[in-house]
């Protein structure tokens, strides 16, 4: 067995063989950080600097921990059982099991997963007669998790108002219930372990004396409490070895605090090594990623390079619509396949899960097998299946599966016993559940009345109108609006409306024959797409995923789609502190997934919330060096100007757009009857689309995207715009 130090580059070798002390290793994408971390650990053990029992190594996934152990045992003849290598939650669980009495836990305490925790929260709310409309269970769950990750117990939560006090009371009651039942949720493992080390000095000193070397992977993804836990373990004699990349910190929504890296630099002076040689991507891809991330002010700084040569230019495609973008991607994928690129070495990345629907449809139509990585295909997502179940009942109330799926979703107080009695009655009478409920309404009466009203109200509506009406009246929209993390589910429901709007009479005829009912044909189409073309295990398939899911992966060819202002960077990022910098880091991650070929695309129009949205290219496209870009649509791009669609302009447009609860530009004091999204014609600049508006009367101005002529502000009183 050998460490093969001769295979390391100079920076990797310097990091692996550092003398005792603290170290921060800034490891760029594709620079071999896992290899460095594992080889460092093996080097320490081989050199006798530490025993296997004296090492604590923290990773962020169980898969990464297993990989580290596998690599380590391939380098050294060492028994890994005595070593503490695992995730934060895994190591804290190990500590609490060993010291359960001191931690105030039963010996065989059970761990609640996310769903178990939600069920426990619901039991607390019921026991306290809490109105779940005012205090939704998921909101209470996220409140508890958030406070624990901040290191706060219920008694420590600031009571700013009655609502905050009530949430703190529910947190306290939940903690008490968990104590009685001898259970702990994931956040509790870390908080309880931190509290144990904080108050028990002999135990803390025991672990400080034992763990002289602490190694941390993906340090940029640590939250504040995880960093505090590490600092408690790191005594005066400890050696902290942290590996991370602040340019790839993309999990703020999960509590990750990129500032931990800057804090580490200040609090633990020592070696600083940058791993900048990339072994994944070709030079042009890295140069583009470097130029993009340089726009972020709050970074420690590094510059990726490769010895592999410049490679190909980045291909950029400007589509007329999202459907046009998807068709182009299919054509490029088919060309790549003919050139010999395996489908499983091609990735399609998108910012939001809702974007996958159009891509999946295009792949389905072309017969290309695909796999949605880290998630479900569009028509298999729970919120979409709930919506389809309501639509199935509107089309045919005799559908018992659809009935059972949504009779108590959103919750209507219909319990299991009521449904069992209904099913028994239906079986005895030889009827379906809906007919049985009509004859004997009982507790199910309001649900049956809802379906009856939906069936009547949907008569005469288009397919898209039916879909949107059912989503609103069923309560699904309101249900997910109340969820703390319901935004993505709402986007998916909006995308279902888009799918219905795009489903033509021709599609209906193909699916179900001439004169087919559009709703039934659409439901057939959804069932077919949900049931086919998702590749099985081991089958070669395209990889579809969000940019967040792509972190840590790499592919020969990568498509980064939907590069439009408001979509990516996401519209919410302009309203959040440091939100735009995190979006740019996410773009950096997306770019650096590609080994050889990188495609970037955006669409002039995209269906969102059931309506056409007119787009400007993402600012991220403008931040890439022009010399590295190969435009595949030169006629559209040759006169293209840098985006002037500022965050402020976008926010104003959103506030006025009725899709987001505002007033359209043609109403409520809008300039001379024009509206955002309207097609107009100018005598000099030609055809364009209004993307923003401001002012009143003679001071009214509109911002128009004239495509090849760029984006221009025009005074309505003098521009003589004509509606197209």
HEC string for 546-586:
ECCCCCCCCEEEEEECCCECEECCEHHHHHCCCHHHHHHHH
Catalytic residues: 33-34, 217-218, 248, 593
Give the pLDDT band (50/70/90) at residue 374: low
Tell whether the model's pLDDT for residue 376 goes beyond 50: yes
> What 8-state DSSP symbol labels residue 536?
P
Cβ neighbours of 540 (radius 10 Å):
12
The number of C-alpha atoms within 13 Å of 659 and in the hemisphere containing its C-beta is 17
Give the pLDDT band (50/70/90) at residue 386: very high
Digit-coded pLDDT (tens) for 597-611? 999 999 999 886 666
Mean pLDDT of 341-367: 92
Mean pLDDT of 34-38: 91
| Long-range Cβ contacts of 131-139 (<8 Å, 24+ apart) | 132/411, 133/482, 135/166, 135/167, 135/170, 136/482, 136/483, 138/482, 138/483, 138/484, 138/485, 139/482, 139/483, 139/484
Tell whether the model's pLDDT for residue 335 goes beyond 90: yes
Give the pLDDT band (50/70/90) at residue 656: very low
- Which residues have C-beta within 8 Å of that of residue 513, sequence separation ≥ 6? none
Residue 590's pLDDT is 97
Predicted TM-score (pTM) of this structure: 0.72
Digit-coded pLDDT (tens) for 555-597? 999 999 999 998 999 888 877 778 899 999 999 999 999 999 9
Residue scoring higher pLDDT (724 or 383): 383
- Tokens representing 341 are 């690129």
Which of 143-157, 207-221, 247-261 shows the lowest mean pLDDT across its residues? 247-261
- Tokens representing 80 are 């890994």
Residue 639's pLDDT is 43
Residue scoring higher pLDDT (105 or 107): 105
The sign of the dihedral angle between the CA atoms of 237, 243, 248, 252 is: negative
Burial 25-61 (b: 16+ CB within 10 A, else e): bbbbbbbbbbbbbbbbbbbbbeeeebebebbbbbbbe
Tell whether the model's pLDDT for residue 711 goes beyond 80: no
Tell whether the model's pLDDT for residue 113 goes beyond 70: yes
CB contact at 8 A, 199 and 171 = no
């Amino acid at each position: 067995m050998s460490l093969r130090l001769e295979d390391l580059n100079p920076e990797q070798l310097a990091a692996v063989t550092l003398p005792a002390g603290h170290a921060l290793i800034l490891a760029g994408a594709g620079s071999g950080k896992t290899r460095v971390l594992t080889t460092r650990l093996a080097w320490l053990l081989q050199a006798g600097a530490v025993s296997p029992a004296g090492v604590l190594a923290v990773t962020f996934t169980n898969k990464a921990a297993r990989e580290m152990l596998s690599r380590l045992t391939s380098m050294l003849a060492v028994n890994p059982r005595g070593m503490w290598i695992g995730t934060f939650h895994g190591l804290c669980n190990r500590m609490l099991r060993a010291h359960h009495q001191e931690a105030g836990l039963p010996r065989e305490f059970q761990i609640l997963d996310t769903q178990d925790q939600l069920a426990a929260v619901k039991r607390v709310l019921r026991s306290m007669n809490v109105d779940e409309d005012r205090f939704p269970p998921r909101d209470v769950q996220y409140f508890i998790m958030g406070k624990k990750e901040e290191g706060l117990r219920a008694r420590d939560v600031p009571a700013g108002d009655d609502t905050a006090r009530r949430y703190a009371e529910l947190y306290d009651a939940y903690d008490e219930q968990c104590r009685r039942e001898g259970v702990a949720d994931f956040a509790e493992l870390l908080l309880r372990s931190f509290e144990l080390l904080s108050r028990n000095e002999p135990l803390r000193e025991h672990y400080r004396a034992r763990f002289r070397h602490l190694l941390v992977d993906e340090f940029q993804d640590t939250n504040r409490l995880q960093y505090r836990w590490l600092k408690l373990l790191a005594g005066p004699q400890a050696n902290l070895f942290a590996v991370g990349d602040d340019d790839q910190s993309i999990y703020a929504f999960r509590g990750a605090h990129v500032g931990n890296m800057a804090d580490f630099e200040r609090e633990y002076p020592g070696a600083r090594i940058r791993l900048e040689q990339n072994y994944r991507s070709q030079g042009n891809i890295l140069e583009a990623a470097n130029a993009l991330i340089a726009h972020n002010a709050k970074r420690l700084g590094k510059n990726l390079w490769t010895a592999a040569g410049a490679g190909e230019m980045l291909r950029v495609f400007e589509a007329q619509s999202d459907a046009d973008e998807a068709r182009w991607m299919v054509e490029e994928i088919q060309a790549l396949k003919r050139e010999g690129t395996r489908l499983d070495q091609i990735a399609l990345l998108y910012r939001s899960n809702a974007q996958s629907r159009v891509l999946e449809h295009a792949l389905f139509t072309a017969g290309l097998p695909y796999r949605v990585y880290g998630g479900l295909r569009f028509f298999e997502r729970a919120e979409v299946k709930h919506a389809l179940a309501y639509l199935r009942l509107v089309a045919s109330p005799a559908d018992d599966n659809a009935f059972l799926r949504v009779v108590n979703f959103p919750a209507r107080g219909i319990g299991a016993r009521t449904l069992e009695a209904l099913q028994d009655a239906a079986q005895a009478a030889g009827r379906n559940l809906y007919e049985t409920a009509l004859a004997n309404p009982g507790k199910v009466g309001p649900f049956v009345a809802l379906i009856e009203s939906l069936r009547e109200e949907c008569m005469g509506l288009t397919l898209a109108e039916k879909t949107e009406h059912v989503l609103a009246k069923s309560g699904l929209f309101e249900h997910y609006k109340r969820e703390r993390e319901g935004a993505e589910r709402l986007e998916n429901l909006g995308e279902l409306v888009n799918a219905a709007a795009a489903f033509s009479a021709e599609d209906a005829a193909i699916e179900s024959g001439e004169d087919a009912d559009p709703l039934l044909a659409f439901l057939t189409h959804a069932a077919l797409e949900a049931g086919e073309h998702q590749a099985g295990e081991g089958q070669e398939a395209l990889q579809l995923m969000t940019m967040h899911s792509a972190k840590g992966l790499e592919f020969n060819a990568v498509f980064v789609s939907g590069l439009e202002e408001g979509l990516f960077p996401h519209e919410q990022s302009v309203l959040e502190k440091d939100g735009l910098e995190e979006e740019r880091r996410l773009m950096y991650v997306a770019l650096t997934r590609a080994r050889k070929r990188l495609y970037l695309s955006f669409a002039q129009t995209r269906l969102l919330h059931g309506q056409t949205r007119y787009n400007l290219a993402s600012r991220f496209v403008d931040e890439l060096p022009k010399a590295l870009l190969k435009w595949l649509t030169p006629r559209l791009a040759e006169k293209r100007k840098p985006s002037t669609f500022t965050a402020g302009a976008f926010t104003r447009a959103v506030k006025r757009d009725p899709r987001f609860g505002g007033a359209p530009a043609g109403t409520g004091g809008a300039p001379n009857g024009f509206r955002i999204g309207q097609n107009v014609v100018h005598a000099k600049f030609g055809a364009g689309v209004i993307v923003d508006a401001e002012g009143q009367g003679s001071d009214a101005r509109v911002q128009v995207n004239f495509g090849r002529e760029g984006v221009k502000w025009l005074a309505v009183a003098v521009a003589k715009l004509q509606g197209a």
